Amino acid sequence: MAKFSGGVFCERAIVDATTNNISLINVLDEFHPPQPRPPPASDVARPKKMMPLYNYVCAFVSFWERTDSDKPERPCRVRTRLHAPSGKKLIELIHDMDLSEFPRARLIGHLPGVPVPEEGVYVWRVACEKSKDRWVAGGSVRFSMSFVRTVADAVEVQQRAHRAIASYRQNGKETVN
């Protein structure tokens, strides 16, 4: 059975047509969209339970490999789900994967936006279908999200990013939270 070897949530995934190398642009392990505004009281067309959508084109890329690199594996389906901090399922992607010819595969799920109903740690959970509707967990990838409510919040996020970059340049690793 296929083995999940990692995943990345990013803005874009670009596959070079000549080399088949992949470039992951703007990896998202933390992001801070503006606080969604509540709809006006007179907005009767909007459903009451409609959750805010962060209109940010992005992608989730999962990497897979054969359990035994020398033995071809049968094609299978892969399910990727995004869960909110509360555990609510927000997105589900299903891909077909074939490891019969090559020992590794990557699957790219392109998204027009991400629902962001609450602040906290979101989890991408991936699973491989072992038999009809029987899924085996492969792994997970987390990212955190908090809303920017004020200009001061935006400045703090930017300053934290600058400190992390400076720390990385000095120490070769990020040491600032």
> Tens of pLDDT along 116-161?
888 999 999 999 998 888 999 999 999 999 888 888 877 887 787 7
The Cα–Cα gap between 5 and 13 comes to 17
Q: What is this structure's pTM?
A: 0.80
Residues 3-37: tens digit of each pLDDT: 999 999 999 999 999 999 999 999 998 888 887 76
Give the model's pLDDT for residue 148. Answer: 84
SS3 18: coil
Q: What string of H, E and C letters represents the secondary structure of 112-150?
A: CCEECCCCEEEEEEEEEEEECCEEEEEEEEEEEECCECC
**Which one has a higher pLDDT value, 96 or 160?**
96
Q: Is the pLDDT of residue 112 over 80?
A: yes
Question: 149 or 96: which carries more pLDDT confidence?
Answer: 96
Structure confidence at residue 46 as a pLDDT band (50, 70, 90) = low
Residue 14, amino acid: I
Q: Which amino acid is at 45?
A: A
Residue 51 confidence (pLDDT): 67
Question: Residue 55: pLDDT above 80?
Answer: no
**pLDDT (0 to 100) of residue 170:** 80
Instruction: Tell me the per-residue pLDDT of 166-176, one tens digit each, with 9 for 90 and over.
Output: 787 887 765 55
Q: Which residues contact 14 (CB under 8 A, 6 or more apart)?
A: 22, 23, 25
